[in-house]
Copies of this chain bind each other. A is one copy, B any other.
Amino acid sequence: MRCAVLREGHLEVLEREAPLPGPLDVVVEVRAAGINSADLLQRRGLYPAPPGSPADIPGMEMAGLVAGVGTQVHEALLGRRVCGIVGGGAQASHCVIASEHLIFLPERATWVEAGGFAEAFLTAHDALVAQGQLREGERVLISGATGGVGTAAVQIAHHLGAHVIAVTRTGEHHEALRAFGADETITLEDVAAIEPVDVVLELVGAAHLSVALHRLAPFARVVVIGVGNGGASLEVDLRRIMATRATLTGSTLRSRSRDEKTVVVAAATAFLAPLWASGDLSVPLSRSFALDDVGAAYDYFALPGKFGKVVLVVE
């Protein structure tokens, strides 16, 4: 197989032997694989793949055709169009994934769209629903709304019936965010003056969150799933937590167990699949690159001001 390989902070595309599926796994012939901020961290040596995943082949999401099944998996899956998340190894022509984690593509989905779907939408759904307990009619602040997870979260929160406040760095892409269901589109400076919110989805880090902490409604839930340019060190006034009875939590999807991911996939898919099939969700594409240009794709991903996903196309 052909695959991106990480060597001392640099990416190259090499030939490797294709991986074999475990008894409950399948092998996917990859057509497209998204890039995520975790990949950039991994390139810098800061975020190694979890045990059991390829250590030097990056990539946490992909879409393609089932090309092989493990001994305990039914052959009826062969040839199905699927996408899904993996602990690593997705930026390659072949990728092993747990059969329980497969998401079947709706007819209308293109490969590029599907390659950038799973990580962002599963992460956003788990963060908003399982962790944030976002309910219809509540107000949610989404910090870092223009990225892959952000654009997914805006759409999911809108379809949950929440009032969606999308925060971007400089006010860019506000029309596109409104088209996705954002009720308000603001910049960081505006956060200090918003009406209190029930849920904060923090994708940027401490610099953004420290402002949002002043705008929490009673029983607010703050969910941190990304600390990028905003930094990781947050100053929390414990009296404010006690007074609002707010909850601060966070997680990453990648480090979870196979069984935990199965629960995430099942819960998210039940909500997302009909919306994806009907065209009520979409994966905005910032730009696609050929797998051979993986280094350039990562460099592009690192630039600010994008809207939506960066996806590698595997011919």
How far apart are the CA atoms of A246 and B248 in the complex, in Å? 8
Contacts of A235 in B (CB 8 A): 233-236
Within 8 A of B (CB), among A148-166: none
Q: Once the chains bind, are B238 and A232 in contact (CB under 8 Å)?
A: yes
Contact with B along A236-253 (1 / 0, CB 8 A): 111101110111111110
- A83 within 8 Å of B by Cβ? no
Quick one: closest B residue to A251, CB to CB?
B245
Q: Once the chains bind, are A248 and B245 in contact (CB under 8 Å)?
A: no
- A205 within 8 Å of B by Cβ? yes
Q: Once the chains bind, are B227 and A248 in contact (CB under 8 Å)?
A: no
- A128 within 8 Å of B by Cβ? no
- A224 within 8 Å of B by Cβ? yes
- A206 within 8 Å of B by Cβ? yes
Q: Which of A227, A234, A248 has the most CB of B within 10 A?
A: A248
How far apart are the CA atoms of A251 and B252 in the complex, in Å? 26
The dominant DSSP class at the A interface is: mixed
Q: Once the chains bind, are A247 and B248 in contact (CB under 8 Å)?
A: yes
Our pick among B209, B225, B242, B255 for the contact of A250 (Cβ within 8 Å) is B242
Q: Once the chains bind, are A236 and B236 in contact (CB under 8 Å)?
A: yes
Assuming the contacts A227-B242, A243-B255, asked whether A234 and B233 have C-beta atoms less than 8 A apart, the reply is no
Within 8 A of B (CB), among A249-296: 249-252, 255
How far apart are the CA atoms of A145 and B209 in the complex, in Å? 32
Contacts of A248 in B (CB 8 A): 236, 241, 247-249
Q: Once the chains bind, are A247 and B245 in contact (CB under 8 Å)?
A: no
Assuming the contacts A243-B255, A255-B243, asked whether A250 and B238 have C-beta atoms less than 8 A apart, the reply is yes
Assuming the contacts A247-B249, A248-B249, asked whether A233 and B225 have C-beta atoms less than 8 A apart, the reply is no
Quick one: closest B residue to A255, CB to CB?
B243
Q: Once the chains bind, are B232 and A237 in contact (CB under 8 Å)?
A: yes
Contacts of A225 in B (CB 8 A): 242
Q: Once the chains bind, are A252 and B241 in contact (CB under 8 Å)?
A: no
Contacts of A243 in B (CB 8 A): 252, 255
Q: Once the chains bind, are B242 and A237 in contact (CB under 8 Å)?
A: no
How far apart are the CA atoms of A39 and B138 in the complex, in Å? 35
A-B contact pairs, 8 of them (CB 8 A): A206-B238, A224-B238, A224-B242, A232-B239, A233-B235, A233-B236, A234-B235, A238-B250
Interface residues of A (CB under 8 A from B): 202, 205-206, 209, 224-225, 227, 232-239, 241-243, 245-252, 255
